[in-house]
Amino acid sequence: MSYSLYDKNGGKVARKLLILQLLTFVLLSAAFGLKSLSWSTSALMGGLAAWLPNALFMLYAWRQQAQTTVSGRVAWSFAIGEALKVVVTITLLVIALGLFKAAFAPLGVAYLSVLITQIVAPAVINRS
């Protein structure tokens, strides 16, 4: 990612990104609600599977940023945060598909939409 999510205002860009991602999957869930309640719920679960790990990672990063870090610890804390993010994502997707029997199409569309927002939004936010 070529744009920094951290700025001198204490992560204002990261907060905007999380809000945009939240709006993305909530609106998609509402749109899928026109088809059926199960599609709406599936889209909500797919969006949460992408958004919640990002929110947890940002909280983890902000907590680590507050501490004084040794140069080598920054890389390790980032790697640990990313590993936790992957584990939480896989766990949420398994729960959605296995336990709740979510419909794959709306779940996948909402999940991918949040990921695309994560890639595109920082460039748009930093431009303004």
The full DSSP string for 37-61 is HHHHHHHHHHHHHHHHHHHHHHHHH
Q: pLDDT per residue over 64-117, tens digit each?
A: 766 655 666 777 878 888 999 999 999 999 999 999 999 999 999 999 999 999
Instruction: Please work out, in degrees rounded to the nearest 5, the angle formed at the alpha carbon of residue 103 by the alpha carbons of 122 and 29.
Output: 45
* Cα end-to-end distance, the chain, whole Å: 17
**What average pLDDT score do residues 120-125 get?**
83
Over pLDDT 90: what percentage of the chain?
Answer: 61
- At position 85, the amino acid (one-letter code) is K
Q: Which helix (H) or strand (E) is 91 found in, with range?
A: helix 71-94
pLDDT at residue 1, rounded to an integer: 39
Residue 8: per-residue pLDDT: 53
pLDDT tens readout for residues 13-65: 888 899 999 999 999 999 999 999 999 999 999 999 999 999 999 888 777 76
The answer to whether the pTM exceeds 0.95 is: no
Residue partners of 41: CB distance under 8 A and separation at least 6 = 29, 100, 102
pLDDT of residue 68: 58
pLDDT at 9: 53
